[in-house]
Structure 1
């Protein structure tokens, strides 16, 4: 496990946050592998760039007028061209009707190196305070 790989994965997760918060949904989807998956704790699964883009551009805009994903406490383990990571998330948001709030969650991610670049293979999110 190299420090460079860990830093690259941390940067990837930060790009994940900034792109979805900035409404750059095509760019956000491109951070996943071609078969990448986003899995919500309610059972919803979005797989592949087209479904990921549709989830973000339709569902995310419907739920939030503004958002700020803040990820912390990364635990990253790298084994060759694959890695896993856990992160805490605090999501600050404003709804389309002007309500402000925040949500706490945990990400459990799988990463894969594709053509020398780290990509998200799967990101599972669980809402609420969990260890």
Structure 2
């Protein structure tokens, strides 16, 4: 599948909404950016699938881990894929996550997202997020 500029822009906006909603504590909206069967996979193999599990991961895990966070994604590489696949597009991004924990510690993490996207009822949605952690620095 060849993506046109509108598709690429819609996918970029979707990823930016992903960052803003999780940082803003809008976990229901964050989970709603995924397809019904959407998955979030950490490089440890831990997987959260479907809106309920995604919401639980965000609302429980994120609030426990961070008092404040700021996800920043860069260097997007967005491509269309053969529609016989379960996704219509892929995206690669670098993540730089700045955070403050509830104990006051501050730090940052660098990681990489390998994403899959699918169009549902004319709207792009995240089918899968595969997160690979790189470097972390904390004070």
Q: Deviation per CA, 1:24-57, whole angstroms, max 9, x where unpaired?
A: 0000000000000000011110000000000000
What SS is found at the alignment partner of 2:130? strand
Unaligned runs of 5+ in 1: none
1:18 to 1, 17, 20: 20
TM-score with structure 1 setting the length: 0.96
Contact 1:19 1:28 in 2 (8 A): yes
1:127 to 118, 126, 133: 133
What SS is found at the alignment partner of 1:128? strand
* 1:1-131 mapped onto 2 (5 Å cutoff): 1-79=3-81, 82-128=88-134
Q: Deviation per CA, 1:86-124, whole angstroms, max 9, x where unpaired?
A: 000000000010111000000000000000000000001
Q: Which runs of 4+ in 1 moved over 6 A?
A: none
Aligned residue-pair number: 129
Question: RMSD of aligned C-alpha atoms?
Answer: 1.0
The 1-side partners of 2:71 and 2:29 are apart by: 16
What SS is found at the alignment partner of 2:90? strand
TM-score with structure 2 setting the length: 0.90
What SS is found at the alignment partner of 2:21? helix
Unaligned runs of 5+ in 2: none
The 2-side partners of 1:42 and 1:15 are apart by: 25
Shift of 1:78: 1.8
